[in-house]
Amino acid sequence: MSDNNLLSRNSAPHSDVEDIKRRSDYLRGTLRESLEDRITGSISEDDNRLMKFHGSYMQDDRDVRNERQKSKLEPAYQFMVRVRAPGGVVTAKQWLMMDRIAKKYANGTIRLTTRQSFQLHGVLKWNMKSVIQEVHEELLTTLAACGDVNRNVMANPNPYQSELHEQVYEWAEKLSRHLEPQTRAYHEIWLDEEKVADSREGEEQEPIYGKVYLPRKFKIGIAVPPANEVDVFSQDLGLIAIEENGKLVGFNVAVGGGMGMTHGDPKTYPQLGRIVGFATPDQVVDVAEKTVTIQRDYGDRSVRKHARFKYTIDDRGLEWFKDELHRRLGWELQPARPFQFEHNGDRYGWVKGSNGKWHYTLFIQNGRVKDEDGYRLMTGLREIAQAHSGDFRLTPNQNLIIGNVSSQKKRKIEQLIEEYGLTDGAAYSALRRNSMACVALPTCGLAMAESERYLPTLLEKIETILEEAGLREEEIVIRMTGCPNGCARPALAELAFIGKAPGKYNMYLGGGFAGERLNKLYRENIGEAEILSELRPILNRYAQERRDGEHFGDFCIRAGYVKEVHSGLDFHA
């Protein structure tokens, strides 16, 4: 489809970002010039939009913003760099590279994200090129880690079903490669490739995306039942692996999930993906490509808040989508196959995979890898990476698996885990083991409240209530974000806090334990004291009245605290 046709479908005036993309010459803009400008640590706003496609955001340290303003200094500009790893799988050598560049160019910490990628914070403009080159040398990339394209493809790390995981991971990689932007801009700007004159336009130069790329970000995740760590229903395109006798036979296809919303704007809402059928493995790349092109052609290019695929589907209907998909494919999806999810959290400690290798899942509080007094996590992981011949897997819950450890190496890894006191979370409450918090302050420009820096403190206080109620070992999924964009997928948690203002949160209850149901607003704009006084009686009642095996989210609905929500259209109702 030509870009002109594409815009005629979106007859409303398109957003500024669409113009920036169109004028950018396939993501080049004036990024090269902006990076070379030594007068400021920042880049222009237009280039910042394009920078996202290259895997980075310009930020400023919000902790020192006011102080610098008073001293008439420009904000402390710095860049966040996101490194993609399909399915979260990296080699020990790649881990060591991330560790090295985090210390050399960033703030000395590594952030494991909720989509199984790495993030570095605090990189200065002058060091951006070196960072990206060093990432590239180890065969990883920042390209398309952000921006209006397909993002990091998630896949269930599932160590105990190692053979199935291998097969699923292969498809995550294939999808990731197939949907990568084709522009050479990344190679020219960061890797010093010569620009070769290219007269090809639109579909020829970017066969899937065209000149203006997608209306908005696009996300794919693959789950392997009974585990739903990737929160498959939060993805624009969710794939549910179906196996027979340990072999992958295909995927149920779910479309139109997403978490983001804006406080006070009921036209925005989190939504669950809906299953539209089943595809065999060799069909799945085609299904993904056609789904992406449907969103490319029909997604809203005028209002970015309304531009995600979930709104395209909700506005036009699921039947419309299925017809359009089948028309583009030239064949029809088969009926969906049965499956059952049991949880969306990680399983910690050692497990032996079906391939005979060992895997150890470590608890990493909110995904932040750093050295602290008394807990040298970053050094410990560096030592492990130096001794380890298997892989590392970033989990969708911000944790880390030391994967594919041979029986011979297991003792050595165990020794290092012990030496550095690295934890599998067993010493923590089950609530903390099932917790996630987004980055928020001080780096995230959109944060309204603390998240990563605050959740551990709040958890301590909730843990006291849990102890009293005898619920310390009760698995409850809790998530916090600093704003309603939903980066820690809070709308799927049994208990969630979404930032509203400094120290104030909206409190949500009733999400499904396996990520199959949205939660619902319970209390608005409350601070810590109210959070605790609201939560105490609910947890106490849960301890006394819960049925055998009843999860907290289910109980909150049965006990009448909130209504059950199976569609984003009812989220605000």
Residue 115 contact among ligand SRM, ligand SF4, none, beta carbon within 5 to 8 Å by kind: ligand SRM
**Residue 433, binding choice from ligand SRM, ligand SF4, none, Cβ under 5 to 8 Å by partner class:** none
Q: Which residues pair with 319 in a beta bridge?
A: none
Looking at 54, 82, 125, 343, which residue binds ligand SRM (CB under 6 A)?
82
Residue 400 near residue 364 (C-beta atoms within 8 A)? yes
| Integer Cα distance of 549 and 475 in angstroms | 11
Q: Is 483 annotated as a binding residue?
A: yes
**The one-letter amino acid at 165:** H
Is 444 known to be catalytic? Answer: yes
- Indicate if 82 belongs to the active site: yes
Measure the CA–CA gap between 294 and 289, rounded to whole angstroms: 9
Strands 375-376 and 391-394, bridge-based pairing: unpaired
**48 counts as binding ligand SRM under rule CB under 6 A:** no
Site membership for ligand SRM, residue 251 (CB under 6 A): no
Check binding of 205 to ligand SRM (CB under 6 A). no
Q: How far is the CB of 481 from ligand SF4 (least distance, A)?
A: 4
- Residues 307-326 touching ligand SRM, rule: CB under 6 A, are 308
- Residue 200 known to be catalytic: no
Residue nearest to ligand SRM (CB): 260
Which of 241/439 has CB closer to ligand SRM? 439
- 556 is known to lie in a ligand binding site: no
Nearer to ligand SRM, 57 or 542 (CB): 57
CA separation for the pair 573, 565 (Å, rounded): 9
Smaller CB separation from ligand SRM, 158 or 397: 397
291-295 long-range Cβ contacts below 8 angstroms, 24+ apart: 291/236, 291/237, 291/255, 291/325, 292/150, 292/179, 292/208, 292/214, 292/218, 292/237, 293/1, 293/208, 293/328, 294/321, 294/324, 294/325, 294/328, 295/214, 295/215, 295/218, 295/236
Our CB check for ligand SF4 shows the closer of 439 and 465 to be 439
259 binding partner (options ligand SRM, ligand SF4, none; Cβ < 5 to 8 Å by kind): ligand SRM
Instruction: Supply the minimum distance, in Å, between the C-beta of residue 151 and ligand SRM.
Output: 5
Point out the catalytic residue in the list 347, 483, 489, 500. 483
Is 146 noted as a catalytic residue in this protein? Answer: no
Residue 152 contact, options ligand SF4, ligand SRM, none, Cβ 5-8 Å cut-off depending on partner type: ligand SRM
Cis peptide before 226 (omega within 30 of 0): yes
Alpha-carbon distance of 336 to 251, in angstroms, equals: 8
Helix (H, G, I), strand (E, B) or coil at 494: coil
Q: 65: which 2 tokens?
A: 């913003």
Site stretch for ligand SRM (CB under 6 A), options 114-122, 195-203, 455-463, 559-567: 114-122
Q: How far apart are CA 25 and CA 106, in angstroms?
A: 30
Query: Considering the complex, what minimum distance in angstroms separates the CB of residue 486 from ligand SRM?
Result: 4
Q: Whose Cβ is closer to ligand SRM: residue 184's or residue 308's?
A: 308
Q: Fill in the DSSP letter of residue 115.
A: T
Residue 215 lies near ligand SRM (rule: CB under 6 A): no
DSSP E strands in 256-374: the ranges are 274-279, 349-352, 358-362, 368-369, 371-372
Residue 337 gets which letter from DSSP?
P
Contacts to ligand SF4 by CB under 6 A: 438-440, 444, 446-447, 451, 481-483, 485-487
Out of 17, 43, 46, 57, the only residue in the binding site for ligand SRM (CB under 6 A) is 57
Catalytic site residue from 82, 84, 111, 310? 82
Q: Please give the Cα distance from 480 to 268 (Å, whole number).
A: 19
- 208: how many CB neighbours lie within 10 A of its CB? 20
Quote the CA–CA distance of 216 and 344 in Å, as a whole number: 26
Nearer to ligand SRM, 115 or 165 (CB): 115
How many residues belong to the chain?
573
Q: Of 429, 485, 506, 519, which lies in the binding site for ligand SRM, with binding defined by CB under 6 A?
A: 485
Contacts with ligand SRM, residue ranges (CB under 6 A): 57, 59, 80, 82, 113-115, 117, 119, 151-152, 219, 234, 258-260, 308, 367, 438-439, 443-446, 485-489
Which positions are annotated as active-site residues? Answer: 82, 151, 217, 219, 438, 444, 483, 487
Annotated binding site for [4Fe-4S] cluster: 438, 444, 483, 487
**Residues annotated within a binding site for siroheme:** 487
